[in-house]
Amino acid sequence: QISICPSLLDLTWISYAPNLKFLEVSMCESIEEIVKRVDICGGEIEENLEGMLFSRLTTLILQCLSSLESIYGLALPFPSLEKIKVDNCPNLRKLPIDSNSAKNSIKMIEGDAIWWDGLQWEDAATESHFHPYFEQIVNRIWTRTYRMSELDTEEEDYDEDEEGHQYET
């Protein structure tokens, strides 16, 4: 779990953690890409390492990443991936999956309906393959704001006397 790292731009170093099963990244407002295809020295990530990238990952949760544009530049096999959750990542428009990704493992993709509808797919087959696994999440911030505004409205129906006692108006 990686959270509240405001200067973090990417997590390319996790490509060296082939046994990683759970990855949650949240509130890292500068992160643009989870894993860059080009390393710091300018060379591309080796193909054999690319095949191992996220090979044991079962859960990927991305939340409140306002600058995130990419998880990885190419489709990955994700042989163990069961769940993807994307919440409040407005610039993430493409998932690193194709119709061969997570073939027998995926169980759920959670996200906002507007985000899902705006995703760019490699082809129609990929979209139709993953669509049955999509579940819309309710935006909890909006719900909380709405509930607070309900409470504020209720409080407006009361006044206080000089001694601090409330009475209905």
- Is 169 contained in some domain? no
| 105 in any annotated domain | yes
pLDDT tens for each residue of 10-34: 998 898 888 999 999 999 999 999 9
Give how many domains the chain has, as a whole number.
1
Predicted TM-score (pTM) of the model is 0.76
The DSSP annotation for 93-125 comes to ---S--TTTTTTT--EEEE-HHHHHH---S-HH
Residue 67 within any structural domain of the chain: yes
In degrees, rounded to 5, the angle at the alpha carbon of residue 35 between the alpha carbons of residues 14 and 139 is: 100
Structure tokens at 139: 């935006």
Q: Which domain range does residue 55 map to?
A: 2-159
Q: Name the DSSP letter for residue 155.
A: H
Q: Is residue 168 one of the residues assigned to a domain?
A: no
Q: For residue 13, tell me if it sits in a domain.
A: yes
Kindly state whether residue 166 falls inside one of the protein's structural domains: no
pLDDT digits 0-9 by tens, 52-102: 789 999 999 999 999 999 999 889 999 999 999 999 999 999 999 988 898
